[in-house]
Amino acid sequence: MATATPQRPSADQTIKRISAEYETLSKQLKVIALHIEKNRDHVGIEGIQELARQCGVQPSAVVRFAKHFGFSGFSELQAIFRDNLSRQLAPSRNYKARIRDLIESGSNHLSSVEIAKEFLAGSVAGMHELESSLDAAALKKAVDLLAESDCIWIAASRRSFPIAAYLDYALQHTEKRICLVSGLGSMHQGQIRSVRKGDVLIAISFSPYAEETIAVARAAVERGAKLVAISDSRMSPLAKLAQVTLVVQDNSTLGFRSLSSTMGLAQSLFIALAYTLELPYQPTT
């Protein structure tokens, strides 16, 4: 009787396994793991030489990474991610490729309108990517945690702070106690001392991760709070502390990262919570 061929894992299953074993990997393999998670659409297309170049490692390290996770080599690992690719390249890849070509061409004659269109195209591509990759189970868990808590804290620094400010405004429309860890006067630790067991902290940070936000998240968890992380990787420092992580990756245009996808995710999180809480409509007067 013929032995059944083992079913090949999906890209999502592979990413989850990589995330689970991330802390046990060597420094080089951690770099490859992060790259694969953040560029999963590219992995199915680019060759081993290009992947190694982008990670700053030798191709042999990529092969070693693949074998560590039970694949015969890079080609078998790549096939996992190629399965999920459509006939055309992902919108984010099209966009990034155009930007890369633009920079490498040395063009310095872009008009203001051309720059604006590039930024808007990047935002649109990022939103499409978020729509297709949104983790439904993670979003539901985040909404449930927020709905069950009486007090919601929000923490973010630098580039991520506008997202925290929006969530502070939006969540004020609920009956819950809302606290923004602003860090005014460098008093992050002082503000977080009021966190109690059962509270929920929404912490937002992207690579390179803000040390202030990580410190606040760690202190809140130590005080018994539950953590909802919004970050760019399931292997980020915040994800290690969180009950649930919402992963979002904004596109970069000419070296400047957009906030469009992250803001869209934050708005979706609030609207989903408002729907769960059945908030009544109260027009502003």
Residue 60 pLDDT greater than 70, yes or no: yes
In degrees and rounded to multiples of 5, residue 188 shows phi and psi of -55, -50
CA distance 232 to 55: 17
Beta strands in 109-225, from DSSP E residues, in sequence order: 151-156, 177-181, 200-204
Residue 96 pLDDT greater than 70, yes or no: no
Question: Where does the pLDDT of residue 103 fall: very low under 50, low under 70, confident under 90, or very high at 90 and above?
Answer: low
Place of tokens 């620094």: 157
Q: Report, as an integer, the average pLDDT of 195-214.
A: 91
Tell me the three state secondary structure of residue 199. Answer: coil
Q: Report, as an integer, the average pLDDT of 42-46.
A: 77
Cβ-count burial 245-260 (b if 16+ within 10 Å, e if not): bbbbbbbebeeebbbb
Least confident among 26-35, 80-89, 104-113, 242-251 = 80-89
Total Cβ atoms within 10 A of residue 125: 23
Residue 41 pLDDT greater than 50, yes or no: yes
Q: What is the pLDDT of residue 249?
A: 81
In degrees and rounded to multiples of 5, residue 256 shows phi and psi of -115, 125
What's the chain's average pLDDT? 82
Q: Report, as an integer, the average pLDDT of 197-211.
A: 91
Domains 11-82 and 136-277 share a fold: no
Task: Give residue limits of the domains in the chain.
Answer: 11-82, 91-133, 136-277
Question: 11-82 has which CATH code?
Answer: 1.10.10.10
Question: Where does the pLDDT of residue 239 fall: very low under 50, low under 70, confident under 90, or very high at 90 and above?
Answer: confident
User: Architecture of 136-277 per CATH?
Assistant: 3-Layer(aba) Sandwich (3.40)
CA distance 151 to 225: 10
- The more confidently predicted of residues 185 and 49 is 49
Q: How far is CA 223 from CA 56, 192, 217, 220, 226, in A?
A: 39, 9, 10, 5, 9
Q: Report, as an integer, the average pLDDT of 262-281.
A: 88
Q: What is the pLDDT of residue 253?
A: 67
Q: What is the pLDDT of residue 203?
A: 96
Under a CB-based contact definition with an 8 Å cutoff, are residues 240 and 193 in contact?
Answer: no
> What share of the chain has pLDDT > 70, as a percent?
82
Q: Could you report the per-residue pLDDT of 10-35, keeping only the tens digit for each?
A: 777 788 888 888 888 899 998 998 88
Residue 196 pLDDT greater than 60, yes or no: yes
Helices (H), 172-210: 188-192
Residue 87 pLDDT greater than 50, yes or no: no
Under a CB-based contact definition with an 8 Å cutoff, are residues 52 and 44 in contact?
Answer: no
